[in-house]
Amino acid sequence: MVKSQQSHLLVLTCVLILFLPAQAFCQVRAEDITADFESGNITGVTDQGPNDLYMRIRLDDNHGDLYGWFYFKIKEHALNQTVTFHITNPDGWVNADYKPVYSYERMVWNRVSNTTFSGGSLIFRHTFNRDSVYIAFCFPYTTTDLDQFLDSVED
């Protein structure tokens, strides 16, 4: 490549980088996942590639034999990203026609439609339209939700 072509290519690359939206360079990684909130439950999160996350459900009981639910949050980088999740220990509901739910603000919950079971894992994929999102086994109802409801009916 001649020097002038290299210069033009460099300028074009710089222009593209300047004008592409920031999310074009983002991807969801293991460190973007948290379950550090009320009723949150997920563990062992690893990323196996861009937007490809593997994780396990934390045990629900002291006997070591009950895996009941997952509930976690993507803290950032989800905007316009298609993310694939692999729940590697879905326990007894492996063959169910199961569809997790997601919410951006924990008010309105929607079903993830792209789900499969393969190799003993629940695999689901979704493209998100916000930077941060909650994902759960089913519609979460926390102790705080119950307390708020009870307070409302007592008044």
Distance CA 59, CA 21 (A): 40
Domain with 27, as residue range(s), is: 23-154
Q: Is residue 9 part of a domain?
A: no
Which CATH number fits the domain that encloses residue 83? 2.60.40.3120
Convert the pLDDT of each residue in 80-137 to its tens digit.
Answer: 999 999 999 877 665 667 899 999 999 999 999 999 988 889 999 999 999 999 999 9
The pTM (predicted TM-score) of the whole model is 0.80
Amino acid at 76: E
> β-strand 82-87 against 52-56: which pairing, if any?
parallel
Q: Which residues pair with 52 in a beta bridge?
A: 49, 84
The tally of domains found in the chain comes to 1
Q: Is residue 7 part of a domain?
A: no
Largest CA distance in the chain: 79
Dihedrals phi, psi of 90, to nearest 5 degrees = -75, 0
Q: Is residue 138 part of a domain?
A: yes
Q: Which of 42, 29, 125, 28 is nearest to 78 (CA)?
A: 28
Distance CA 37, CA 73 (A): 9
Kindly indicate the confidence band of residue 146, based on its pLDDT and cuts at 50, 70 and 90. very high
Side-chain-facing half-sphere of 152: CA atoms under 13 Å: 6
